[in-house]
Amino acid sequence: MNKGCGTLILAAGKGTRMKSNLPKVLHLMLEEPLISYPISASHEAGLDDVCVLVGNEGKAVESYLKKNEDVTVAWQTEQKGTGHAVLCAESFWKEFDSVLVMPGDVPLISPETLREFKSQYDASGSVCSVLTFDVDDPTGYGRIVRCNDKVSIVEEKDASADIKKIREVNSGIYLFNTNELAIAIKSLTNDNAAGEYYLTDVLTILQDRGLKVSALKIGVPDEFNGVNNQLQLAQVTEIARKKIVEKLMLEKGLRCMDPGTVWIGPRVKIGNNVTIYPSVQLWGDTVVDDEVFIGSFSVLRSCYIQKCANLKGSVRMNNGSVGPRASAGPFAFMREGAVLLENAHIGRFVEIKNSVVGESSMVPHLSYVGDTTIGTHTNLGAGTITCNYDGVNKNKTVIGDHCLIGSSTMLVAPVTVGDWVSTGAGSVITQDVPSDALGIARAKQQNIENWAQLHRKDIKK
Ligand code: UD1
Ligand code: CA
């Protein structure tokens, strides 16, 4: 049954120049794998059915895709060229009227360009359109040769000196009528300098059969930048980073005195009137609500920061959640499952893991809080530690409302402290403390009079 337009992303190539064991399309741009970008561009352009062709290190790519993306996977076990690659995925694209083919290593491609390309293709009456762009240095690209009404693509390796001068090049992005593609692709040969089956030759085959092919120049050149090595990866990353930050500044009023040092991943959501100081990184599916302040050197991965929260700088947080008007830092580390409820505060040199700090409660200085629930309006004194690990198990600490935990209290879990409890500074609390009690557990102080005189050199004995 034929229906709509499918997308085929080619990602079976080697990526040798990345000099890495990691498959090229799994290298990260703004902490997201390269392959995720053409997939989301296709989805955002309204082309929902996507197939990714894998090959080299294909198992790793396939397992990433199965876990994270809604796509079909096809295999090309031996890399015999882009034409052969498209043929390997025929069982996917033959189900559609048309297919968009694009490389997996062009992460800057925009949904707007894909949408425009599709609509110009639809209007052109062509059975194939190739997306082209002009470039100052065309080295390495297939050149677009326009002759009368015909279009052909000549690869660098096969090009004459004159053709090498052409600056209009093939982006590697095409739309095909699948019925015609199915016929033409079977007559490809590998009779060229590279000994490969070139997809680009399909254009000539189609025109030789009297069918119309068009070359469409759409989009801005940066969009087609391919990633072949680590330097190009850093260059495209900078373009993507800048685009995201500038868009947030213009559309959401993001305040950023130094936008060049702010890093925000493509899935991060930012509300209105947010302020971000220099050298901040926000990754994954972090959500930042309105009026939040994020101080310098903060690094957040997949966190939820609610309205008017204040991250005072150097806050590191993974999968954490910060309630409205709550605050953290400077120098705070919130690990997996750390939750600050409304108006809570954690301060300098505090580490929180898998714990809830209740409404209006505070852990202001030098503490470790793990596997703990803290009620409301409770204050943990400087240096409070929850001793959650006994060498075998992680144990829980429960602290009630309105408590005053004395400085340097060790809470040896499992342990429960009721409401309105105080503990003596320096106590090692190994037993539960009932509500309203003072828990104190430390040696009673003795003062030995004149002890210094035994040691002082300035006193004659
Ligand atoms: C290709 C085009 C060239 C165009 C350029 C744009 C051909 C013959 N040439 O050249 O005109 O200017 O892209 O970047 O198509 N791939 C496979 N299996 C293979 C071979 C390639 O999946 O057997 C994939 C690669 O992973 C890559 C894409 O196809 O994503 C393009 O292949 P690549 O070898 O980079 O083609 P180029 O030589 O750059
Ligand atoms: Ca390439």
Beta strand residue intervals within 354-424, DSSP E: 355-357, 362-370, 372-374, 379-380, 385-387, 397-399, 404-405, 410-412, 415-417, 422-423
Average pLDDT, the chain: 96
pTM score of the predicted model: 0.94
Which pLDDT score, from 0 to 100, does residue 3 have?
86
Q: For residue 169, give the ligand 1 atom closest to its CA.
A: 12
3-state SS class at 137: coil
d(CA 55, CA 70): 19
Among 82, 171, 176, the mutation site with the greatest number of ligand 1 atoms within 8 A of its Cβ is 82
* DSSP conformation letters of 59-109: HHHHHHHHHH---EEEE-SS---HHHHHHHTHHHHTTSSEEEEEETT-TT-
Distance 172 CA to ligand 1 centre (A): 7
Task: Evaluate whether 213 touches 151 at the Cβ level (below 8 Å).
Answer: yes
* DSSP conformation letters of 10-22: EE-S--GGG-SSS
State the catalytic residues. Answer: 365
What's the angle, vertex CA 225, arms to CA 224 and CA 229, rounded to 5? 150
Distance 83 CA to ligand 1 centre (A): 9
Instruction: State the ligand closest to the CA atom of 11.
Output: 1
Rounded to a whole number of angstroms, the CA Rg of the chain reads: 31
Average pLDDT of span 105-116 = 97
**Tens digits of residue pLDDT in 298-354:** 999 999 999 999 999 999 999 999 999 999 999 999 999 999 999 999 999 999 999
Average pLDDT of span 31-50 = 98
Average pLDDT of span 202-208 = 98
Residue whose Cα lies nearest atom 13 of ligand 1: it is 172
Q: For residue 83, give the ligand 1 atom closest to its CA.
A: 15
**Which 8-state DSSP code applies to residue 302?**
S
**Whether residue 24 has pLDDT greater than 90:** yes
**Whether residue 223 has pLDDT greater than 60:** yes
Single out the residue of 62, 116, 114, 107 nearest to residue 266, CA to CA. 107
Distance 13 CA to ligand 2 centre (A): 9
**Whether residue 367 has pLDDT greater than 80:** yes
Distance 173 CA to ligand 2 centre (A): 11
Ligand 1 contacts (CB < 6 A) are 10-13, 53, 55, 76, 79-82, 84-85, 103-105, 141-142, 153, 155, 169-172, 198-200, 226
**Tens digits of residue pLDDT in 278-303:** 999 999 999 999 999 999 999 999 99
Pair of tokens at residue 322: 């910060």
Which pLDDT score, from 0 to 100, does residue 461 have?
65
Which single residue is written with the structure tokens 């002009």? Answer: 134
